[in-house]
Structure 1
Amino acid sequence: MLPIDLEILKYIFFERHMYAYKLRPYLKTNKYHELHEKLSTQEHNEDLLKMNIQEAPFTIFDLETTGLLPELGHEIISIGAIRIQGTNHVSYKRFHQYVRPIRPVHQRTLNLTGMTRKDLQRGQTFLEAYDDFMEFSKDTILVAYPAAFDMKFLQTLLKRWKLPIDTPPSIDAQKLVKKMYPNHKYQLDSMIASFGITQLERHHALNDAIMTAELFQQILHDIHSYGIKTVEDAIHWIQS
């Protein structure tokens, strides 16, 4: 693995141009134009922000990526998500999709995530996967742990693919944890153990989303004691 300064230079002078070249055929497809139109005209449901946070619909999601820096060409290689209705423990709708990357994926990433090259070869393009994820999460609040990473990654990829930036309402579950449980270690593994949540295999997007959803529902049970009533209250509290 290269030092970060060399990785930056490598991307700026070599890989960025190759990446742009490989994207060109995709930007001429019907799928690209359909998604561009959808993102350009969509309006998010602002009424969701006024809902009681213990009753609102949420999509908890997780990304597996080839690295931590989308600005340096790192890509999404899987998206996992689960829909919940506040604190209601009903059967959940689930979403999982492998995403076929533009650049080759390092073996260490495959080892970490348990994916195979065949999984990725059979995966959807980013255009297809993002479109399906949009449909799955429609009319819900997005939640990630931490959303600061996952939302930024999605928005950076949209920009790279020359698509309009999508800014659906979202909650950073990790920031809520820091507010509500200041004496806990806030890493996901630590919180899962603290709340007695069944540990699934980590670094699998759907598994991580499922565990985060269970943690988030426990957060929702406790959050009213902090004076938080609506989704909007929680978002403002996180930002304060």
Structure 2
Amino acid sequence: MLPIDLEILKYIFFEKHMYAFKLRPYLNTNQYHELYKKLSIQEHNEDLLKMPIQAAPFTIFDLETTGLLPELGHEIISIGAIRIQGTSHVSYKRFHQYVRPIRPVHQRTLNLTGMTRKDLQGGHTFLEAYDDFMEFSKDTILVAYPAAFDMKFLQTLLKRWKLPIDTPPSIDAQKLVKKMYPNHKYQLDSMIASFGITQLERHHALNDAIMTAELFQHILNDIDSYGIKTVEDAIGWIQS
């Protein structure tokens, strides 16, 4: 792996232009124009923010990526999600897609995620995957661990694909953990162990979403004691 300063220079002077060149064919497709129109007119349901947090619909999601810096051309290679309804049982409605990247993926990323090059070659384009994810998560609050990373990654990819930025309502579960359990280690693995959640294979987007969903339901069971009643209360508390 290159030092970060060299990786920045490599991206600015070479890879950024190559990436833009490789994107051009996709930007002239009907699929691109349909997604552009959908994002342009999309209105998120603001009533969700007023709902009791223990009864609201949530989509818990996770991304697997080729790196941590979408500004340097790192890409999404898998999206996993699960829908829950407040503190009720984890839904069987699940979402998992491989996303075919524009640039080659390093072998260390494949080793970490357990994916194969065949998985990615047969994956959806980012346009297809994001469109499907939008449909799956429609009329829910997005939750990720941490959402600050996952939401930024999605929005940076939309910008790179010259699409309107999507800003659905979201909650950062990691920030809630820091507020509610200050004496715990806040890494996902530590919280999974603390709450006795069944450990699934990590760095698999759907598995991580399932474990985060179970953790989030523990959070919802405890959050009332902090005076948090609505989704809007939780978002405001995180930001305070």
- Output the CA distance in 2 between the equivalents of 1:219 and 1:51: 16
Structure 2 residue matching 1:24: 3-state secondary structure: helix
- The TM-score, its normalising length taken from structure 2, stands at 1.00
- Output the CA distance in 1 between the equivalents of 2:93 and 2:175: 25
- Output the CA distance in 1 between the equivalents of 2:15 and 2:222: 47
Structure 1 portions without partners, runs of 5+: none
- Output the CA distance in 1 between the equivalents of 2:192 and 2:91: 20
> How far apart are residue 45 of structure 1 and its match?
0.2
- Output the CA distance in 1 between the equivalents of 2:215 and 2:48: 21
What CA deviation, in whole Å up to 9, does each residue of 1:188-231 have, x standing for no partner? 00000000000000000000000000000000000000000000
> How far apart are residue 92 of structure 1 and its match?
2.6
- Output the CA distance in 1 between the equivalents of 2:91 and 2:97: 20
Structure 2 portions without partners, runs of 5+: none
> How far apart are residue 90 of structure 1 and its match?
5.2
What CA deviation, in whole Å up to 9, does each residue of 1:29-49 have, x standing for no partner? 000000000000000000000
Would the aligned equivalents of 2:83 and 2:91 in 1 still touch at CA under 8 Å? no
Other-structure match for 2:100:
100
Would the aligned equivalents of 2:44 and 2:139 in 1 still touch at CA under 8 Å? yes
Higher mean alpha-carbon deviation, 82-91 vs 131-140, is at: 82-91
Would the aligned equivalents of 2:99 and 2:129 in 1 still touch at CA under 8 Å? yes
Other-structure match for 1:110:
110
Structure 2 residue matching 1:25: 3-state secondary structure: helix
Q: How many residues align?
A: 240
Higher mean alpha-carbon deviation, 84-93 vs 186-195, is at: 84-93
What CA deviation, in whole Å up to 9, does each residue of 1:17-72 have, x standing for no partner? 00000000000000000000000000000000000000000000000000000000
- Output the CA distance in 1 between the equivalents of 2:189 and 2:100: 28
> How far apart are residue 91 of structure 1 and its match?
3.5
- The TM-score, its normalising length taken from structure 1, stands at 1.00
- Output the CA distance in 1 between the equivalents of 2:65 and 2:31: 23
1:178–1:90 CA distance, 2 compared to 1 (3 A): closer
Matching of residue 225 in structure 1 with residue 225 in structure 2: yes
> How far apart are residue 177 of structure 1 and its match?
0.1
Structure 1 runs, 4 residues or longer, greater than 4 Å off: none
